[in-house]
Amino acid sequence: MNHTTDPSDTSVLIVGAGPTGLTLACVLARAGVAVRVVEKAPEFHRESRGKGLNQRSREIFEDLGVGEEATASGIEHITLRKYRGGVPVSDHVTFGDKTPTADAPYASGVIIPQWRTEEILRGRLAALGVEVELGAELTGFVQDADGVTATLADGRRIRADWLAGCDGGRGSVRKLLGLSFKGATEAEECMVIGDVRADGLDPAYWHQWFDEDGGIMLCPFRDGDHWQLQAGPERGPDGAVLPPSPESFQRLFDRHARVPGVRLTDVRWTSVYRVNVRMADRFRVGRVFLAGDAAHVHSIAGGLGMNTGIQDAFNLGWKLALVIRGEAAEPLLDTYEEERLPVAAWTLRLTDERLGVVREGVREAGVGTEAVITDDVTTLGVGYPWSSLAWGGADAGRRAGGVRRGEGGPWFTLRGPDAPVLRELRREYAGLLRVEPDPEARELLLVRPDHHVALRVPPADAGEVAKRLAGLAGLAGK
């Protein structure tokens, strides 16, 4: 076979077209960066998989211009209805005590099947001129000082300046890098999952039936016939997990739910989920990055898997875009691992702890699955106070609050009283900075493209803003 370099070289090659890869592609394409997305699957799936966007991810979707579409496709403030012995014992409205505020405009996450989340992101990406390349499996790559040459299974080669592995926990990019994926797999603790029709159930509730010997949950989706089923598995005489099937789903439902009029039909997807808690020791090797499940996997308790990947991508995306466009120097890219690796470690700890909460109280009203839904899982409190991009001020590195729809970016935003120094900074760093005069402001607030505070200083210290932006652009001392 004649292995030739694909003539359509690109700035960034993204491997994997799940929510992580699609988010990264949208951030880059919106900024005018040439990007390609390759996906080994031959077609797009229609599986519910990761079924929720948390509050922070909803802010990111709004920034990308798809917030309203995601909201219209999902369920906010879903009610968990818990049963014991087939009898309802409690209803719990997720984030029922929260209301939107200026700083936190999304009071709830949104239940939405992953296939629909990906469809929304693909639509946004297509509007930016990029289509996912299906049936394109990465089999190898080599990198040098100037870029990465990737090889696909069909023999094609793609030359890119940078490569991002967003191809999941079993993906090839991390393995090809030779990175460790330390942690544990709890082989005995698992559940069966599937997408089923359950005509006759009230879709106003996420139904959760629990008994001493197991349980089953059915989560609805807006404007859809299918529910996501989660249950403890059936096991054979030797204790081995039996593969899920339409018949086993019905047996599990009849055993735990005890609703004789409901039949589970049209099973479109089945899977066996085992708890994996693992993390790569590095998120960047030269010109190659890892994001999402390719970098870290953990318990589904709290629903943070897909959301953490989306937030990885948003963090990496603006940094790559600024470097590629020449607005920032390459050392900025080191802050991706600096910021997101500790967040991944925190996520592993949090989800492991929440899984323990579910185990201990799953059959009682008010604890168990309900207790998982806390402010932590909104990830609105996730920040980077330890980061080298936390340049000054008590809240440096923290989320700035509020949200807006991005206009193309990525830009830093400087808010403060209108003054000649603001106008001068805007002229000096036109590709990096947007200025928002506020006559009532008493300080200068510099906000990163991902809505986190970089710097807060008195107006008299405006020179510190100029110094930091010059350093970011690689101009300090020149």
- The residue count of the chain comes to 478
Does 299 fall in a domain? yes
Does 133 fall in a domain? yes
Domain interval for residue 396: 383-478
27 and 129 co-located in one domain = yes
**Euclidean distance between CA atoms 325 and 331, whole angstroms:** 14
DSSP 3-state assignment of 133?
A: strand
286 and 357 co-located in one domain = yes
DSSP states along 79-126: EEEEEETTEEEEEEETTTT----SS---SS-EE--HHHHHHHHHHHHH
Q: Which two tokens stand for residue 269?
A: 């997807």
Residue among 226, 224, 221, 225 nearest 76 (CA): 221
- CATH code where residue 430 lies: 3.40.30.120
301 and 175 co-located in one domain = yes
DSSP states along 144-178: -SS-EEEEETTS-EEEEEEEEE-S-TT-HHHHHHT
318 and 419 co-located in one domain = no
Specify the DSSP class assigned to residue 264: -
Specify the DSSP class assigned to residue 4: -
Give me the pLDDT at residue 376, please.
85
23 and 145 co-located in one domain = yes
* pLDDT one-digit tens code per residue, 370-395: 666 778 889 999 999 999 999 999 99
* pLDDT one-digit tens code per residue, 307-358: 999 999 999 999 999 999 999 999 999 999 999 999 998 888 887 776 666 6
* pLDDT one-digit tens code per residue, 112-130: 999 999 999 999 999 999 9
Q: Is residue 286's pLDDT more than 80?
A: yes
Which band of pLDDT confidence, cut at 50, 70 and 90, is reported for residue 305?
confident
Task: Work out the average pLDDT over 285-297.
Answer: 96
369 and 310 co-located in one domain = yes
Q: Is residue 477's pLDDT more than 60?
A: no
Give me the pLDDT at residue 409, please.
74
pTM over 0.75: yes
Does 85 fall in a domain? no
372 and 322 co-located in one domain = yes
**Euclidean distance between CA atoms 406 and 436, whole angstroms:** 14
415 and 313 co-located in one domain = no
DSSP states along 409-478: ---EEEEE---HHHHHHHHHTTTTEEEEE-TT-SSEEEE-TTSBEEEEE-GGGHHHHHHHHHHHTT-TT-
- CATH code where residue 355 lies: 3.50.50.60
CB-CB contact of 387 with 410 (8 Å): no
Task: Work out the average pLDDT over 201-224.
Answer: 93
403 and 456 co-located in one domain = yes
Examine the fold and report which residue of 353, 378, 403 is the final residue of a domain before the chain moves on.
378
CB-CB contact of 422 with 435 (8 Å): yes
Residue among 390, 286, 412 nearest 339 (CA): 390
**Euclidean distance between CA atoms 200 and 266, whole angstroms:** 14
Least confident of 35-49, 241-255, 397-411: 397-411
**Euclidean distance between CA atoms 472 and 332, whole angstroms:** 7
Examine the fold and report which residue of 351, 378, 405 is the final residue of a domain before the chain moves on.
378
DSSP states along 284-314: EETTEEE-GGGTEE---TTS-HHHHHHHHHH
Least confident of 139-143, 198-202, 360-364, 369-373: 360-364
365 and 387 co-located in one domain = no
**Euclidean distance between CA atoms 354 and 87, whole angstroms:** 25
Q: How many other CB atoms are found less than 10 A from the CB of residue 324?
A: 20
* pLDDT one-digit tens code per residue, 408-438: 679 999 999 987 888 889 899 988 999 999 9
159 and 19 co-located in one domain = yes
Which band of pLDDT confidence, cut at 50, 70 and 90, is reported for residue 223?
confident
348 and 394 co-located in one domain = no
Examine the fold and report which residue of 355, 378, 401 is the final residue of a domain before the chain moves on.
378
Which band of pLDDT confidence, cut at 50, 70 and 90, is reported for residue 288?
very high
Does 419 fall in a domain? yes
Cα end-to-end distance, the chain, whole Å: 51
Domain count, the chain: 2
